[in-house]
Amino acid sequence: MKEIILDTETTGLSVKDGHRIVEIGCIELDNLVPTQNKFHCYLNPERKVSEKALEVHGYTDEFLSTKKKFGEIAEDFLSFIKDKRLIIHNAEFDLSHLNNELKILGKTIINNEIVDTLTLARDKFPGSSISLDALCKKYRIDNTKRTLHTALVDCDLLAKVYINLIGQKEPTLNFQSQDNLIKNGEPANKVLYFKKVVSPTDEEIKNHSAYLKSSLKKNFF
């Protein structure tokens, strides 16, 4: 399955205050493995960046003034994410800004399947800090490059966090024949990620029970 790790940076928090997107970053995953397909752009928001947002991402009005406007990249962006599940940390924020930009252009809002890693983390670590930095620390993911919030760096970190959150860390080689892989349009050396579950056989359970009965002084059977 192909998924898109997505992140945005903006001029401020709320679209209700007229804030706009200044950066979009996307990394494609294929069966949880990052591909070479990425989408990235800086955008001219046609308004000033708030002081608080500037502290977060560091993009100045002067830097952004020469970049494309959202309308100039909208079709390329929509084509990149088409029919793919979107993986977003705090999806409500990013989607509100993306849909606002689309509404300004008179376009249909995003209706992709969404996985919000903030929700996944909240369920997995109730009461704990679940910021991207906090999750990187929990999973021992190197985030030293994240001196500021930038979309592609955040996407790269989020991809690693996402794989950990869903419990699919163990890589395993796909041992299908090369002919089958080529027939299915997949690279022959693809690494797939899945949760490894090994269940004992009935014979192993029987032998284990017999061992416990004969070895333990106190019999619980």
Q: Name all contacts of 163-171 with Cβ < 8 Å and 24+ positions apart.
A: 163/32, 163/193, 164/135, 164/139, 165/117, 165/120, 165/121, 165/124, 165/135, 166/120, 167/195, 168/32, 168/193, 168/194, 168/195, 169/193, 170/194, 170/195, 170/196
Strand ranges (DSSP E) for 89-156?
A: 114-116
Give the closest residue to 4 by CA, choosing from 105, 188, 152.
152
> Strands 21-30, 2-10: parallel, antiparallel or unpaired by DSSP?
antiparallel
Give the three-class secondary structure for 72. Answer: helix
Residue 49, CB-side half-sphere exposure with 13 Å CA sphere:
22
Six-digit token pair at 127?
């009461």
**Integer Cα distance of 186 and 181 in angstroms:** 5
Distance CA 122, CA 6 (A): 19
At which residue do the structure tokens 């924020």 appear?
93
Q: Is there a catalytic annotation at residue 40?
A: no
Place of tokens 């970053």: 25
Q: Which among 19, 57, 97, 149 is annotated as catalytic?
A: 149
Annotated active-site positions, please? 149
